[in-house]
Each structure stands twice: as C-alpha cells, then as structure tokens.
C-alpha cells in the first residue's frame, strides 16, 4: 500500500525514521522530508490524494502543511492513523470515516500490519 506520513518540517528526522519503519513492514512511502521548496507542495498534495492510507504524526509542533494534508485525507475518506506523541493525549476528528488513534509507534505498526483487514470491515458497513 502507498502510505503518506505527515509531520512537521521541524520534526522531519523523527518522521523520516517512521517512514523507514513503515517501508520495512512492506508499504511504499513518499519521502517529502528532503524537499526544501514550495514547488514540492503540489507533489505532496498529489501524493496525499493518491495514497491508500495516511499517518498524521501529532507532536505538538505547529505545521500548516500537515494540517492541510490531514484535511485532504479526511475529505477523501482515507484511512487515517493519528500517532499522538503530544502530552496530554488529544483526541480529535471523531467523525472520520477511517480513524485509528495510536498512542505509540508500536501500536500504529500493528494497525498498519492489519490495514487491509480493517478496510474490508469498514467498507462492508
């Protein structure tokens, strides 16, 4: 599956590490973390629109870009995984069609390992 991992530019090292782990479990990931100009933002949005699932790394660092990407993924009813690293834990987007709140990375990888199963269940409703 094609997975888009959104995070803040200021936290790109951690987000890049997460991308590499997602690739290790067999998914393809678009790596935006080495781009340095606004021309790539169009490609970023295209990748969000075509991804099979979306991971939002919520760490308390403000980022307009990842918020826009989250909104696009939500509007397109993409499976959304919120990796919530911020304390206290925040819960939002209760009305998302596909939404899994993960309290830590291990939990998120477990969900990703089973994403095809969860998508079939959700699609059958």
| φ, ψ (nearest 5 deg) of residue 81 | -110, 125
Does 86 have pLDDT greater than 70? no
What's the pLDDT band for 5 if we cut at 50, 70, 90? very high
Boundaries of every domain in the chain: 2-124
Strand spans (E) along 1-116 = 2-6, 28-29, 53-58, 80-84, 99-102
Please give the angle made by the CA atoms of 28, 34 and 35, to the nearest 5 degrees: 105
Closest among 111, 114, 82 to 96, alpha carbons compared = 82
- pLDDT, greater one: 92 or 81: 81
**How many CB atoms neighbour CB 50 within 10 A?**
12
Residues 16-55: pLDDT tens digits? 988 998 888 888 999 888 766 666 788 889 999 999 989 8
Segment among 10-14, 38-42, 89-93 with least mean pLDDT: 89-93
Q: What was the pLDDT predicted at 8?
A: 87
Does the bond joining 43 to the residue before it have cis omega, within 30 degrees of 0? no
CATH code assigned to 2-124: 3.40.50.450
Residue 13 has pLDDT above 70, yes or no: yes
pLDDT at 79 over 80: yes
């Amino acid at each position: 599956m094609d997975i888009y991992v959104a995070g803040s530019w200021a936290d790109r090292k951690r987000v890049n590490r997460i991308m590499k782990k997602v690739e290790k479990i067999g998914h393809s990931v678009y790596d935006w973390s080495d781009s340095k100009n606004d021309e790539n933002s169009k490609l970023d949005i295209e990748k969000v629109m075509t991804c099979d699932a979306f991971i939002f790394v919520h760490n308390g660092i403000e980022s307009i870009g990842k918020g826009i990407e989250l909104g696009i993924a939500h509007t397109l009813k993409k499976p959304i995984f919120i990796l919530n690293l911020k304390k206290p834990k925040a819960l939002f987007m209760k009305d998302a069609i596909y939404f899994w709140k993960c309290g830590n990375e291990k939990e998120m990888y477990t969900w990703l390992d089973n994403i095809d199963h969860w998508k079939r269940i959700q699609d059958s409703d």
